[in-house]
Amino acid sequence: MILAILLAAAEPAPKNAIEAERAFAADAQKLGQWTAFRKYASSAAVMFVPRVVSARQWLRDKKDPPKSVRWQLAQSFQSCDGLTAINLGPWQRPDGSFGYFTTVWFYEDGLIAGPRWLWAYDAGDTLRTPMRAPAKPKIRRAACNEIQAAPNPWRYPIPSVPSPDSPEAQEAKLHARDHTLRYDYKVDAAGNRQFSAWLWNGRVFEQILNQTVAAPK
């Protein structure tokens, strides 16, 4: 046990959102699926089951399945300062099903645990045709000139998790620390979800994602 702790401590910390995603995926295979999700979840991370829930609360007593889902990084949209990113790529379950994931990462300047990469949003859906991940993920970073601050109700840092018991729509509008990356999500009472994201291109905020996920039947 002591040796395992020492080896884990010796592992280099991810330097960016690309390395964080790869470390997350690797730990899912080494440590267990939900153990890895807990390891990298921020205190306000959200998941969808299908309504919004606190990831840490939902994952707290989850036992790891015998075999973990596998996933690969295909794209990464990053803020100008590189401290916030939205990663996308394909996943495959042991039962043969497949789909895509969308994960929002941010760099936390933790005073107690120290600086580290954590995820704040994790979601996705199944696909009819498998998504392919390139040998090297495609990276797109926001422009750094003439940045426009996000107006209300856009917020940073990550706000509190909406109540899963609320009969009304659950939603949040969030932005990167440097304001160059924005995303929002909305879940209606039935569990249908909408996720959108925008990246500053130096002139305007360009929409980079617009995902609609139907509630499970």
Amino acid 18: pLDDT: 97
Amino acid 169: pLDDT: 77
Which residues of the chain fall below pLDDT 50? Answer: 1-9
Q: How many CA atoms lie within 13 A of 149 on its CB side?
A: 3
Q: Tell me: the pLDDT tens digits for 34-59?
A: 999 999 999 889 999 999 999 999 99
- Domain spans of the chain, in order of start: 14-213
Amino acid 109: pLDDT: 80
Amino acid 8: pLDDT: 47
- Per the CB < 8 A criterion, the answer to whether 117 and 104 are in contact is no
Stretch (H or E) spanning 35: helix 33-40
Stretch (H or E) spanning 3: helix 2-10
Amino acid 145: pLDDT: 94
The structure tokens 């040998």 sit at 135
14-213 CATH: 3.10.450.50
Stretch (H or E) spanning 213: strand 205-213
The structure tokens 């807990």 sit at 38
